[in-house]
Copies of this chain bind each other. A is one copy, B any other.
Amino acid sequence: MTEPADPAQIHGAIDTVEGVLALFRAGGGRVTSSRRLLLHALFDEPRDRTAEEIAAEIQTNSPDVNLSTIYRNLDELERLGVVVHSHLAHGPATYHLAALAHGHLVCESCGTTIEAPPDLFSGLSRSAQSRYGFQIHPYHFAVVGRCQLCHKQSHRNNIPH
């Protein structure tokens, strides 16, 4: 289970728990209860969560599932194209289903996160492509800045930048 896999070529849908489990099996992997639990957690609550938050939820019912198992399986799911993770400002990464990928605008003053639809990045995407041949993945790292409220406040108090 370490070769890159192309989901499109392997029988098994990426949008249901059983479909993803089939993907694991198809790649020589095994269907285990921690994998099933993790997938249920991801599909049941599709918002961005840290590995720790996902682990905590699973552990309320299944306390023996270890955080390192969560990390290992999230990595595996990312390789399979089922989940993606994002780095918001400082602090831990957040994970969510790849189908729900979106950009993030994070205020560096108050920490508020705005979830941005993919089209917000289409201009940047085109410029990076045409100028550098670079294909951006606007979901992986947050775009940091100041939200409206904090921007106004910093002006009022003469705080630079």
Residues of A at under 8 Å CB distance from B?
4-9, 81, 87, 105, 107-108, 114, 116, 120-121, 123-124, 127-128, 131-138, 140-148, 151, 157-161
The verdict on A160 contacting B123 (CB below 8 Å), with A105-B134, A148-B132 known, is no
In angstroms, Cα B5 to Cα A144, docked, is 21
In angstroms, Cα B161 to Cα A4, docked, is 11
Rank and list the top 8 A-B pairs by shortest CB-CB distance, nearest first: A133-B148, A123-B123, A136-B145, A140-B144, A141-B141, A135-B146, A124-B124, A137-B145
**Which chain B residue shows the least CB distance to A138?**
B143
Contact between chains at B144 and A137 (CB < 8 Å): yes
Nearest CB in chain B: distance from A71 CB, A? 14
Contact between chains at A108 and B140 (CB < 8 Å): yes
Contact between chains at A8 and B141 (CB < 8 Å): no
**Which chain B residue shows the least CB distance to A146?**
B135
Give 25 A-B contacts (CB < 8 Å), ordered by A residue. Answer: A4-B157, A7-B160, A81-B160, A105-B132, A108-B137, A116-B128, A120-B127, A120-B128, A123-B124, A123-B127, A124-B143, A128-B143, A128-B145, A132-B148, A133-B148, A133-B151, A134-B146, A134-B148, A135-B145, A135-B146, A136-B144, A136-B145, A140-B144, A141-B141, A141-B142
Copies of this chain in the oligomer: 2
CB-defined contacts of A132 to chain B, threshold 8 Å: 105, 114, 116, 147-148
CB-defined contacts of A8 to chain B, threshold 8 Å: 160
**Which chain B residue shows the least CB distance to A143?**
B136
Nearest CB in chain B: distance from A96 CB, A? 15
